[in-house]
Amino acid sequence: MYLTTEIKEGFFEKYGEKKTNTGSTEGQIALFTHRISHLTEHLKKNHKDFNTERSLVRLVGKRRNLLDYLKNKDINKYRELIKDLGIRK
């Protein structure tokens, strides 16, 4: 499987305060970004997989909501996170 427990813990350890803090906004955004990139690669090969396409759209919406929340809460963390993850060009 592409997303193991160790990978998830790595995201929350790097972007959250610690690896058990799975509720941190930054950690969730990083995890969603990883999942979005994986689903995008899958859809490049399987362009007729409409269930995955729907899941991707929902996941992008969830990430957008979390990014909006973080932007309103702390603009500096928002700017650091999008620069670190490479979300905006």
SS3 content of the chain, % helix, strand, coil (to 5): 75, 0, 25
Cβ neighbours for 88, distance < 8 A, ≥ 6 positions apart? 82
pLDDT digits (tens, 9 = 90+) for 1-52: 678 889 888 889 998 888 888 889 999 999 999 999 999 999 999 999 999 9
Domain 5-85 belongs in CATH node 3.40.640.10: no
Q: Where are the domains of the chain?
A: 5-85
pTM of the entire predicted model: 0.91
